[in-house]
Amino acid sequence: MTSPASARWVPPAPQDLPEWRAQLMDFTASEASDIAMRETLRAGRCTIVPTMRNAPLDSGTFAATVLNGAEHARLSQADLYYATADMTALALAAAATPPREPVSIERLPSESGFIIFEEPIGGYVEDVGAALVGRVTATAAKDVRITTPIVAASWTAWTPQDIQITEGGTVTWGYMTRDGYIAIPPDTRGIWITYYSPCGVTSGLPPQTVLGTLSDGTTFTAAMFETTRQTAPDRGPLNWDNEVLLVEGTEFAAGRPDTTDMWSHTLYTAWQLMTSTGGTRWTETEEIPRARAGRKRDARQNVTGTSAVRVVNVHTAHRPPHDASLADAAASTGRREPSWSCRWPVRPYRRSTCLNPGGHATGDCQHEDRIVSGHVKGPPGAPLRTGTTVHLWDHQPKTDA
């Protein structure tokens, strides 16, 4: 088995985020993006799928066009956020348990947004050879696996009525599940999230790695794939990876590893940290303005979201020591969620806070999920001690005869 790719995720500088958004918008509006989305639909990778009776195009082309149009609009309306490595690790630490409150649109820091994480918020292992069968190769090599990191997300508050086609009929939206297509009721309110991974799916594989064979029997290598990708239309720095709809009022369940469940727990927790109004102030935000030339480009692309970047960091009162951050970064592969063992030896935890204690006994109250600061027990300045306590017996305990 080929070892998982070792190349680290290299995030952009915060001031480059508007340009990344612009490149993604260019690609999303292109014919190449429609082709890629049709392939994604055929592979069953899409969760939210539009259909329309008597659609003006075949079903795959119609769905791809609508989905890309929706993502293009989402990016154009998005406010821009950059989560630092410490902020990413804090969100992951607090998201070790799922959010306890039901999904709430009120938790969004802005109605539409696009966020880059300086460290991945998760990842999944994929057989690259198997993924290329039918798209590039005729057969797949065995067990050519890499880890794909999830590093960015776009979102918007959404209802099925937000996207309608006037020509030909009404769009019906539904989930693709293991049991088939399930319609989304038209009065549904929720948060549509798209997750992104870095471009370069074979990043880190040795160039001579065989991914499969072509129809003529020729071997197809990682180097050949990278050459093909470089001559293809510019996809921008990120790949559309997956999406999910968080329906307002639904409860978060325990997440399945390496799925949108876990990534959504972390993203929603980041929103909770960013919008906390009571108790602990968790974050500090610095705004980096867009250069004048960039603002002109945004205007040409009809961007209505902010062009400035909001850099979100952990508040100085809770920020871990620099040495602890470096130790965790050194232990990270850069392709999976980072460790926080040094940054937060006792991780933050959740507490359901009653906002109307007087009505608590009768159930006439409202609860809010608040995140409580992690801590290290012991007097200030004392050496940090973590790990398992070992009880040593100096002799065998006596037993009754």
Residues 6+ apart with CB under 8 A from 344: 89, 90, 93, 320, 374
pLDDT of residue 280: 81
Q: Which residue has the tokens 């993924």?
A: 131
Q: Looking at residue 390, what is its pLDDT?
A: 35
pTM for the structure as a whole: 0.85
pLDDT of residue 106: 94
Q: What's the pLDDT score for residue 17?
A: 97
For residue 138, the model assigns a pLDDT of 84
Adjacency order of strands within the sheet including 172-177: 48-51, 172-177, 180-183
Indicate if the alpha-carbon torsion angle 393, 394, 400, 401 is positive or negative: positive
Would you give the end-to-end CA distance of the chain in angstroms?
57
Q: How many CB atoms lie within 10 A of CB 401?
A: 3
What integer pLDDT is reported at residue 311 of this predicted model? 98
SS3 81: strand
Give ∠ CA 63-66-69 in degrees, rounded to 5: 145
Give the pLDDT of residue 54: 63
- Contacting residues for 160 by C-beta, under 8 A, at least 6 apart: 171, 172, 173, 184, 185, 186, 188
Which pairs from 177-182 meet CB under 8 Å and 24+ separation?
A: 181/49, 181/51
Closest CA to 345 of 314, 323, 322, 324: 324
User: What does the alpha-carbon distance between residue 304 and residue 306 come to, in Å, rounded to a whole number?
Assistant: 7
User: Among 124, 31, 91, which Cα is nearest to 312's?
Assistant: 91
For 18-70, the DSSP string reads HHHHHHHHHHHTSHHHHHHHHHHHHTT--SEEEE-TT-SS-HHHHHHHHHHHH
Whole-angstrom Cα distance, residue 23 to residue 26? Answer: 5
Report residues of the chain scoring pLDDT below 70. Answer: 1-6, 54-58, 163-169, 200-204, 228-234, 358-361, 363, 374-401
How far, in whole angstroms, is CA 258 from its chain's centroid? Answer: 11
Q: Name the residue with tokens 């309306």.
A: 77
pLDDT value at residue 397: 40
Q: Residue 87, exposed/middle/buried by CB under 10 A (0-12, 13-18, 19+)?
A: buried
Distance (Å, whole) CA 336 – CA 96: 15
